[in-house]
Structure 1
Protein backbone atom coordinates (compact mmCIF):
# COMPACT_ATOMS: atom_id res chain seq x y z
CA UNK A 1 0.00 0.00 0.00
CA UNK A 2 2.98 2.29 -0.08
CA UNK A 3 2.35 5.42 -2.10
CA UNK A 4 -1.43 4.99 -2.12
CA UNK A 5 -3.71 7.72 -0.87
CA UNK A 6 -6.78 6.61 1.01
CA UNK A 7 -9.75 8.89 0.59
CA UNK A 8 -13.16 8.83 2.15
CA UNK A 9 -16.38 9.65 0.40
CA UNK A 10 -17.98 10.70 3.69
CA UNK A 11 -18.38 14.47 4.05
CA UNK A 12 -17.00 15.82 7.32
CA UNK A 13 -20.41 17.09 8.41
CA UNK A 14 -21.69 13.50 8.22
CA UNK A 15 -18.55 11.84 9.58
CA UNK A 16 -19.59 12.06 13.24
CA UNK A 17 -22.88 11.14 14.87
CA UNK A 18 -25.32 13.88 15.85
CA UNK A 19 -24.56 13.02 19.48
CA UNK A 20 -20.83 13.82 19.14
CA UNK A 21 -20.44 16.86 16.89
CA UNK A 22 -17.62 19.38 16.73
CA UNK A 23 -18.78 23.01 16.70
CA UNK A 24 -16.81 26.23 16.32
CA UNK A 25 -18.06 29.29 18.18
CA UNK A 26 -16.68 32.55 16.85
CA UNK A 27 -16.62 34.71 19.98
CA UNK A 28 -16.71 38.32 18.73
CA UNK A 29 -15.50 41.07 21.04
CA UNK A 30 -15.35 43.89 18.47
CA UNK A 31 -16.78 44.11 14.97
CA UNK A 32 -14.90 47.28 14.04
CA UNK A 33 -11.50 45.90 15.02
CA UNK A 34 -12.37 42.36 13.95
CA UNK A 35 -11.50 41.01 17.38
CA UNK A 36 -12.63 37.41 17.37
CA UNK A 37 -11.43 34.16 18.89
CA UNK A 38 -12.67 30.70 18.02
CA UNK A 39 -13.86 28.31 20.68
CA UNK A 40 -13.90 24.74 19.37
CA UNK A 41 -16.25 22.40 21.21
CA UNK A 42 -15.94 18.65 20.76
CA UNK A 43 -18.47 15.91 21.40
CA UNK A 44 -21.53 18.17 21.52
CA UNK A 45 -24.79 16.24 21.56
CA UNK A 46 -26.92 18.13 19.04
CA UNK A 47 -29.98 16.13 20.06
CA UNK A 48 -29.79 17.26 23.70
CA UNK A 49 -28.09 20.69 23.62
CA UNK A 50 -30.18 23.84 23.34
CA UNK A 51 -29.13 27.25 22.05
CA UNK A 52 -29.29 28.52 25.64
CA UNK A 53 -27.03 25.73 26.89
CA UNK A 54 -24.53 26.45 24.09
CA UNK A 55 -24.40 30.08 25.24
CA UNK A 56 -23.83 28.92 28.84
CA UNK A 57 -20.97 26.62 27.79
CA UNK A 58 -19.28 29.48 25.95
CA UNK A 59 -19.71 31.91 28.85
CA UNK A 60 -18.41 29.33 31.37
CA UNK A 61 -15.33 28.74 29.23
CA UNK A 62 -14.66 32.48 28.90
CA UNK A 63 -14.98 33.00 32.66
CA UNK A 64 -12.81 30.03 33.68
CA UNK A 65 -10.08 29.58 31.05
CA UNK A 66 -7.04 31.90 31.27
CA UNK A 67 -6.74 32.30 27.48
CA UNK A 68 -10.16 33.99 27.41
CA UNK A 69 -9.41 36.70 29.99
CA UNK A 70 -9.60 39.60 27.43
CA UNK A 71 -13.15 38.46 26.55
CA UNK A 72 -14.53 38.41 30.09
CA UNK A 73 -15.89 41.96 29.91
CA UNK A 74 -17.66 41.40 26.59
CA UNK A 75 -21.45 41.27 26.78
CA UNK A 76 -22.43 38.23 24.75
CA UNK A 77 -26.14 37.74 24.21
CA UNK A 78 -26.74 36.82 20.56
CA UNK A 79 -25.85 33.81 18.41
CA UNK A 80 -26.02 33.63 14.66
CA UNK A 81 -25.20 30.81 12.28
CA UNK A 82 -21.99 31.61 10.40
CA UNK A 83 -21.69 28.57 8.15
CA UNK A 84 -22.16 24.83 7.97
CA UNK A 85 -19.52 22.42 6.76
CA UNK A 86 -19.10 22.65 2.98
CA UNK A 87 -21.40 25.69 2.88
CA UNK A 88 -20.65 29.07 1.38
CA UNK A 89 -18.87 31.54 3.62
CA UNK A 90 -19.43 35.26 3.71
CA UNK A 91 -16.90 37.72 2.31
CA UNK A 92 -17.01 39.66 5.59
CA UNK A 93 -14.22 38.28 7.77
CA UNK A 94 -15.94 38.87 11.09
CA UNK A 95 -19.64 38.03 10.57
CA UNK A 96 -22.21 37.50 7.83
CA UNK A 97 -24.25 40.70 7.75
CA UNK A 98 -27.02 39.25 5.63
CA UNK A 99 -29.37 36.47 6.66
CA UNK A 100 -30.72 37.85 9.93
CA UNK A 101 -33.05 34.85 9.85
CA UNK A 102 -29.95 32.88 10.94
CA UNK A 103 -29.97 34.64 14.33
CA UNK A 104 -30.74 32.03 16.97
CA UNK A 105 -33.35 33.89 19.00
CA UNK A 106 -35.01 30.94 20.78
CA UNK A 107 -32.77 29.66 23.60
CA UNK A 108 -35.01 26.62 24.11
CA UNK A 109 -34.47 25.20 20.59
CA UNK A 110 -32.41 22.03 20.27
CA UNK A 111 -29.41 22.45 17.97
CA UNK A 112 -30.49 19.46 15.86
CA UNK A 113 -33.89 21.09 15.25
CA UNK A 114 -32.34 24.23 13.76
CA UNK A 115 -30.10 22.34 11.36
CA UNK A 116 -26.82 22.04 13.26
CA UNK A 117 -24.49 19.30 12.14
CA UNK A 118 -20.83 18.40 12.64
CA UNK A 119 -18.51 21.34 11.87
CA UNK A 120 -21.17 24.04 12.07
CA UNK A 121 -19.75 27.49 12.86
CA UNK A 122 -21.69 29.99 14.96
CA UNK A 123 -20.95 33.59 15.89
CA UNK A 124 -21.56 34.70 19.51
CA UNK A 125 -21.64 38.45 20.09
CA UNK A 126 -23.36 41.50 21.55
CA UNK A 127 -26.59 42.08 19.60
CA UNK A 128 -26.58 45.85 20.13
CA UNK A 129 -23.03 46.18 18.78
CA UNK A 130 -23.99 43.98 15.81
CA UNK A 131 -26.90 46.28 14.89
CA UNK A 132 -24.63 49.34 15.10
CA UNK A 133 -22.00 47.64 12.92
CA UNK A 134 -24.64 46.61 10.38
CA UNK A 135 -25.75 50.24 10.11
CA UNK A 136 -22.16 51.38 9.57
CA UNK A 137 -19.91 48.41 8.66
CA UNK A 138 -16.54 50.12 8.83
CA UNK A 139 -13.49 48.33 10.14
CA UNK A 140 -10.53 49.91 11.90
CA UNK A 141 -6.95 48.92 12.47
Structure 2
Protein backbone atom coordinates (compact mmCIF):
# COMPACT_ATOMS: atom_id res chain seq x y z
CA UNK A 1 0.00 0.00 0.00
CA UNK A 2 2.96 2.34 0.34
CA UNK A 3 3.15 2.57 -3.46
CA UNK A 4 -0.11 4.49 -3.74
CA UNK A 5 0.30 8.00 -5.08
CA UNK A 6 -1.61 10.65 -3.14
CA UNK A 7 -1.51 13.14 -6.03
CA UNK A 8 -4.97 14.43 -6.89
CA UNK A 9 -5.94 13.44 -10.42
CA UNK A 10 -6.41 17.06 -11.51
CA UNK A 11 -2.75 17.65 -10.61
CA UNK A 12 -1.45 14.32 -11.92
CA UNK A 13 -0.82 15.66 -15.43
CA UNK A 14 0.59 19.03 -16.50
CA UNK A 15 -1.66 21.65 -18.11
CA UNK A 16 0.22 20.98 -21.34
CA UNK A 17 -1.01 17.35 -21.47
CA UNK A 18 -4.45 17.18 -19.85
CA UNK A 19 -7.39 14.86 -20.37
CA UNK A 20 -10.84 16.45 -20.54
CA UNK A 21 -14.34 15.18 -21.22
CA UNK A 22 -16.73 17.10 -23.46
CA UNK A 23 -20.43 16.28 -23.06
CA UNK A 24 -22.01 16.98 -26.44
CA UNK A 25 -25.67 17.74 -25.68
CA UNK A 26 -28.24 16.74 -28.26
CA UNK A 27 -31.38 17.22 -26.15
CA UNK A 28 -31.82 18.78 -22.73
CA UNK A 29 -35.44 17.61 -22.34
CA UNK A 30 -34.60 13.96 -23.09
CA UNK A 31 -31.15 14.06 -21.43
CA UNK A 32 -29.38 12.95 -24.59
CA UNK A 33 -25.66 13.59 -24.62
CA UNK A 34 -22.54 11.76 -25.67
CA UNK A 35 -19.10 12.10 -24.13
CA UNK A 36 -15.97 12.82 -26.11
CA UNK A 37 -12.75 12.23 -24.18
CA UNK A 38 -9.79 14.27 -25.38
CA UNK A 39 -6.34 13.18 -24.24
CA UNK A 40 -3.05 15.09 -24.22
CA UNK A 41 -4.69 18.48 -24.70
CA UNK A 42 -2.48 21.51 -24.14
CA UNK A 43 -4.67 23.76 -22.00
CA UNK A 44 -2.12 26.57 -22.06
CA UNK A 45 -2.25 27.01 -25.84
CA UNK A 46 -5.70 25.70 -26.81
CA UNK A 47 -8.39 28.38 -26.91
CA UNK A 48 -12.11 28.00 -26.30
CA UNK A 49 -12.65 28.47 -30.04
CA UNK A 50 -10.01 25.82 -30.83
CA UNK A 51 -11.79 23.32 -28.57
CA UNK A 52 -15.15 24.02 -30.22
CA UNK A 53 -13.65 23.39 -33.65
CA UNK A 54 -11.86 20.24 -32.49
CA UNK A 55 -15.08 18.77 -31.12
CA UNK A 56 -17.05 19.71 -34.25
CA UNK A 57 -14.40 18.02 -36.39
CA UNK A 58 -14.52 14.88 -34.22
CA UNK A 59 -18.31 14.75 -34.60
CA UNK A 60 -17.98 14.96 -38.39
CA UNK A 61 -15.13 12.45 -38.75
CA UNK A 62 -15.34 9.88 -35.95
CA UNK A 63 -17.60 6.84 -35.95
CA UNK A 64 -20.71 6.86 -33.77
CA UNK A 65 -21.57 10.54 -34.04
CA UNK A 66 -24.10 10.45 -36.91
CA UNK A 67 -27.09 11.66 -34.79
CA UNK A 68 -25.00 14.68 -33.71
CA UNK A 69 -23.73 15.82 -37.12
CA UNK A 70 -26.58 18.25 -37.82
CA UNK A 71 -26.52 19.97 -34.40
CA UNK A 72 -25.80 23.69 -34.29
CA UNK A 73 -23.33 23.61 -31.39
CA UNK A 74 -22.06 27.02 -30.33
CA UNK A 75 -21.53 27.18 -26.56
CA UNK A 76 -19.24 25.57 -23.99
CA UNK A 77 -19.95 25.59 -20.27
CA UNK A 78 -17.89 24.08 -17.48
CA UNK A 79 -19.69 21.12 -15.95
CA UNK A 80 -17.29 20.16 -13.19
CA UNK A 81 -13.62 19.88 -12.31
CA UNK A 82 -11.98 16.83 -10.79
CA UNK A 83 -12.85 16.52 -7.10
CA UNK A 84 -15.42 19.32 -7.40
CA UNK A 85 -19.10 19.22 -6.53
CA UNK A 86 -21.30 17.80 -9.27
CA UNK A 87 -24.78 18.90 -10.23
CA UNK A 88 -27.77 16.59 -10.11
CA UNK A 89 -28.44 17.22 -13.80
CA UNK A 90 -26.69 14.50 -15.78
CA UNK A 91 -25.72 16.53 -18.84
CA UNK A 92 -25.30 20.16 -17.84
CA UNK A 93 -24.80 22.39 -14.84
CA UNK A 94 -27.83 24.73 -14.88
CA UNK A 95 -26.36 26.87 -12.11
CA UNK A 96 -23.33 29.11 -12.48
CA UNK A 97 -24.01 30.80 -15.82
CA UNK A 98 -20.70 32.60 -15.27
CA UNK A 99 -19.14 29.24 -16.25
CA UNK A 100 -20.37 29.73 -19.83
CA UNK A 101 -17.28 30.27 -21.96
CA UNK A 102 -18.10 33.26 -24.16
CA UNK A 103 -14.57 34.34 -25.10
CA UNK A 104 -13.37 32.14 -27.96
CA UNK A 105 -9.88 33.67 -27.73
CA UNK A 106 -9.27 32.75 -24.07
CA UNK A 107 -7.03 29.77 -23.41
CA UNK A 108 -8.57 26.85 -21.58
CA UNK A 109 -6.09 27.22 -18.71
CA UNK A 110 -7.08 30.86 -18.13
CA UNK A 111 -10.79 29.97 -17.91
CA UNK A 112 -10.12 27.33 -15.26
CA UNK A 113 -9.57 24.06 -17.11
CA UNK A 114 -7.29 21.50 -15.53
CA UNK A 115 -6.76 17.76 -15.94
CA UNK A 116 -10.08 15.85 -15.80
CA UNK A 117 -12.27 18.91 -16.31
CA UNK A 118 -15.69 18.13 -17.78
CA UNK A 119 -17.44 20.61 -20.05
CA UNK A 120 -20.80 20.64 -21.87
CA UNK A 121 -21.07 21.67 -25.54
CA UNK A 122 -24.53 22.66 -26.75
CA UNK A 123 -26.76 25.02 -28.67
CA UNK A 124 -27.22 28.22 -26.62
CA UNK A 125 -30.82 28.91 -27.66
CA UNK A 126 -31.80 25.33 -26.69
CA UNK A 127 -30.09 25.84 -23.32
CA UNK A 128 -31.85 29.15 -22.70
CA UNK A 129 -35.22 27.58 -23.55
CA UNK A 130 -34.61 24.61 -21.29
CA UNK A 131 -33.42 26.79 -18.45
CA UNK A 132 -36.60 28.90 -18.70
CA UNK A 133 -38.73 25.74 -18.55
CA UNK A 134 -36.63 22.79 -17.34
CA UNK A 135 -39.09 20.01 -18.13
CA UNK A 136 -37.66 16.51 -18.46
CA UNK A 137 -39.69 14.49 -20.96
CA UNK A 138 -38.00 11.16 -20.37
CA UNK A 139 -37.14 9.90 -16.93
Partners of 1:120 and 1:93 lie apart in 2 by: 15
Query: Displacement, 1:5?
Result: 6.4
- How many residues align? The count is 138
Misfit runs of 4+, over 4 Å: none
Aligned: 1:36 with 2:24: no
CA RMSD of aligned residues (A): 0.9
Residue 114 of structure 1 deviates from its aligned partner by: 1.0
Q: Which runs of 5+ in 2 are unaligned?
A: none
Structure (1 or 2) with the larger CA radius of gyration: 1
Work out whether 1:108 is the aligned partner of 2:105. Answer: yes
TM superposition score normalised by structure 2: 0.96
DSSP 3-state at the match of 1:113: coil
Once residues 96 and 122 of structure 1 are traced to their aligned partners in structure 2, the CA distance between those partners, rounded to angstroms, is 9
Which segments of 5 or more consecutive residues in structure 1 lack a partner in the other structure? Answer: none
Q: TM-score, normalised by structure 1?
A: 0.95
Q: CA deviation at 1:7?
A: 1.5
How many angstroms does 1:6 deviate by?
A: 3.1
